[in-house]
Amino acid sequence: MSPHRLRVDREKSKVKDEDVIKTVEEVFDSFTNYHIYRLKNTMKAFRELRGTISAGKEARVYWAKGWKGEDVAVKIFLTSSAEFRKSIKNYISGDPRFPSLPSKFRELVYLWARKEYSNLSEMAKAGVSVPQPIAVSGNVLVMRFLGEGGLRAPLLVEAARELEAEDLERMLEMLIKDVESMVCRARLVHGDLSEYNVMIWEGRPWIIDVAQAVSLEHPKSRELLERDVSNVFSFFSHWLDVSEREESLRRSLEGCLESR
């Protein structure tokens, strides 16, 4: 199937009723409502909040409509997740862009949302295919929606089984270029790149979920980059011979790391 026509099964993409109930309980507190109101009415980032796209441990993503009728995504980071609380500092501590950390967890989550907005902005400027960020306030981030009619674009792990070998080749080549641009031009490392954090839309891969991305000066940047590269090539190796391209990318990235 053409990568331009890939769709996710609607039943599989639905969020269960119990997840929606949990979402309402965890997400829409008075602080979050304030930031949603601000983004909608003051910043004009979106006009109408619609259905849930995904419900994860760290955030909920909603389909929304912009003031010109365009589709946008509204990502709300949870401020009451214990697991989120444990992991969030690992990707901020040591990043020179954030020399001090807030003592209150809610403020830390707000910083995390701003970090994703900043990472998306820097990656987009560097030519990396990421959802264009629109606005951020508190724990709420608004960005371009990848998909149509409220149905999100498929993840790479979902789309791969429908792609021909030549399409997979193209997807890998484009993803390699994006990783090079991310590291060599944006000077960032994704930190959690895999087939679960790449969407296929408009005939190409799009890298998503970049809140945890760190600068090259972060003490764990090399370790995280090694994991990213290994994840990508391990996935594509199920269908393609990737050994030469993996070695070529590693040499290219090493040159960028040494020149920092």
- The Cα–Cα gap between 164 and 156 comes to 13
- The Cα–Cα gap between 115 and 88 comes to 11
The Cα-based distances of 173 to 124, 158, 221 in angstroms read 18, 19, 23
- The Cα–Cα gap between 31 and 44 comes to 18
- The Cα–Cα gap between 236 and 211 comes to 24
Tokens for 35?
Answer: 């930031």
Q: Which of 71, 192, 228, 241 is catalytic?
A: 192
Q: Which of 71, 95, 167, 209 is catalytic?
A: 209
Instruction: Look at residue 152 and give its three-state secondary structure.
Output: strand
209 in active site: yes
Q: Are 89 and 77 in contact (CB under 8 A)?
A: no
User: Tokens 């980059």 map to which residue?
Assistant: 225
- The Cα–Cα gap between 45 and 156 comes to 28
Residues taking part in catalysis: 192, 209
